[in-house]
Amino acid sequence: MAQFVLSLHTAPTDHDTTQRLIKFAEACIAGGHTISAIFLYQAGIFHASNHLELASDELPVKQLWQELSAKEIPLLLCVTAAEKRGLDTQDTGVFTVAGLAEFAMLASEADKWVQFK
């Protein structure tokens, strides 16, 4: 069984990338693998915005993250990338604010780092 870290680099408007990451994560868990973190980096940090309000017929991005969070996968947000983009890091919902060093350590320990962009 392998240990994965996943990183997401695109904004919530990129529905295909978001869904690929979520489906990959679910397949990992279903296959008995572990995910030590899903890390939001670059424009991916906007997934942690507390201003994200989408119409009911759009992809329910918030709900998808809540479902992943319920599977106890650590959902991390890069503080440097967030601050550079002016994101409010006081309220980031299901995401935990983390440093790049914290993620780099997880990536160094993982068998595979898979990027979604």
66 binds other proteins (CB under 8 A): no
Q: Which of residues 19-58 bind other proteins (CB under 8 A)?
A: 41-42
Contact 30, 58 (CB under 8 A): no
Query: In this chain, which stretch among 26-34, 58-66, 89-97, 104-112 interacts with other proteins, using CB under 8 A?
Result: 104-112
According to the binding rule CB under 8 A, does residue 81 interact with other proteins?
yes
Interstrand relation of 75-78 and 34-40 (parallel, antiparallel or unpaired): parallel
- Contact with other proteins (CB under 8 A) among 80, 83, 88, 91: 80
Q: Which of 72, 93, 82 is nearest to 40 (CA)?
A: 82
CA distances to 18, 27, 30, 63, 69 from 38, in Å: 12, 14, 16, 16, 10
List 8, 28, 75, 78, catalytic entry: 78
Query: Angle 98-102-106 (CA atoms, 0-180°, nearest 5)?
Result: 125
How big is the CA angle at 87 (ends 81 and 91), to the nearest 5 degrees?
115
Is residue 9 involved in binding other proteins (CB under 8 A)?
yes
- Binding-site size for other proteins (CB under 8 A) equals 18
Q: Decide if 28 is catalytic.
A: no
Residues forming the site for other proteins (CB under 8 A): 7, 9, 41-42, 80-81, 84, 100-101, 104-105, 107-108, 110, 112-113, 115, 117
